[in-house]
Structure 1
Amino acid sequence: MEMKDVRARAREAMKGYCRVCPVCDGRACSGEVPGMGGLGTGSAFRANVTALAGVKLNMRLMHGAAQPDTATSALGLDFDIPVLAAPIGGVSFNMGGALSEDAYVDAILGGCRASGIVGCTGDGVPPFIIDAALGGIRKVDGHGIVFIKPWDGEELEQKLEAAFDTGARVFGMDVDAAGLITLRKMGRPVSPKTPEQLREIIAMVHAAGGKFILKGVMTVDEAELAITVGADAIVVSNHGGRVLDHTPGTAEVLPDIAEAVHGRICIIVDGGVRDGVDVLKMLALGADLVMIGRPFAVAAIGGGQEGVAAYVAALKAQLTQAMVLTGCANVAEADRRILYGFKR
Structure 2
Amino acid sequence: MKWEDVLGRAREALKGICNLCPICDMKACASRVPGIGGIGTGSSAKNNYEALRSLRFKMKTLHDVTEPDINVELFGQKLAMPVIGAAVAGAAINFKDRMNEVDLAKAQVFGALEAGTIAMIGDGPGDLYDKTIEALKGAGKGIAIIKPRKLDEMIRRIRMAEEAGAVAVGVDVDAAGLVNMRRSGEYVGPLSLGALRKICESTKLPVIIKGIMTEEEAVMASDAGAGAIVVSNHGGRVLDDLPGTISVLPGIASKVKGRSILLADGGVRSGSDVLKFIACGADAVLVGRPVVWGAFGGGKEGVRLLYEKLADELRIAMILTSCPSIKEVSMSILQS
TM-score, normalised via structure 1 length = 0.96
Shift of the alpha carbon at 1:155? 2.1
Q: What is the CA–CA distance in structure 2 between the aligned matches of 1:121 and 1:195, rounded to whole Å?
A: 24
Matches within 5 A, 1:112-123: 112-123=112-123
Rounded Cα–Cα distance in structure 1 between residues aligned with 2:151 and 2:288: 28
Is the Cα contact below 8 Å between 1:179 and 1:189 reproduced in 2? Answer: no
After superposition, give the CA deviation of every residue in 1:5-40 in whole Å (9 maximum; x if it has no partner): 111111111112111111122111101100001000
The Cα of 1:97 is off from its aligned counterpart by 2.3
What's the counterpart of residue 54 of structure 1? Answer: 54
Shift of 1:189: 3.1
Distance 1:74 1:160 in 2: 19
1:227-246 matches, within 5 Å, as: 227-246=222-241
Residues in 1 aligned to 2:161 and 2:304: alpha-carbon distance in whole angstroms: 25
Letter in 1 for 2:196: L
Is the counterpart of residue 140 in structure 1 residue 139 in structure 2?
yes
Which residue, 310, 328, 335 being the options, matches 2:323? 328
C-alpha RMSD over aligned residues: 1.0
The one-letter amino acid paired with 1:181 is: V
Q: CA deviation at 1:153?
A: 4.8
Corresponding residue of 2:21 = 21
Which amino acid in structure 2 is aligned with residue 42 of structure 1? G
Query: Which residue number in structure 1 is paired with residue 154 of structure 2?
Result: 156
Question: C-alpha deviations, 1:232-251, integer Å up to 9, x for none?
Answer: 00000000000111000001
Q: How far apart, CA to CA, are the structure 2 residues paired with 1:77 and 1:284?
A: 22
User: 1:311 and 1:282 mapped to 2: Cα distance?
Assistant: 18
CA distance in 2, matches of 1:281, 1:64: 21
Q: Which runs of 4+ in 1 moved over 6 A?
A: none
Distance 1:12 1:89 in 2: 20
Q: For 2:25 and 2:36, locate their aligned partners in 1 and report how far apart those are by CA, in whole Å.
A: 11
Residue of structure 2 equivalent to 1:259 = 254
TM-score (norm 2): 0.98
3-state SS, counterpart of residue 326 of structure 1: coil
* Identity within the alignment, %: 42
Matched with 1:219 is: 214
Q: Whole-Å Cα distance in 2 between the matches of residues 265 and 201 of structure 1? A: 16
Offset from partner CA, 1:198-252 (integer Å, 9 cap, x none): 00011102xxx21110000000000100111000000000000001110000011
What pairs up with 1:60-139 in 2 under 5 angstroms? 60-127=60-127, 129-139=128-138
Paired with 1:189 and 1:306, the residues of 2 have a C-alpha distance of 36
CA shift in 2, pair 1:265/1:153, >3 Å: closer
Unaligned runs of 5+ in 2: none
Contact residue 48 and residue 250 of structure 1 kept, 8 A: yes
5 Å-filtered alignment, 1:268-279, equals 268-279=263-274
Give 3-state SS (helix, strand or coil) of 1:126's partner: coil
1:142-194 deviations in Å (ceiling 9; x for gaps): x1000011112532222121111101121111000001011111111300011
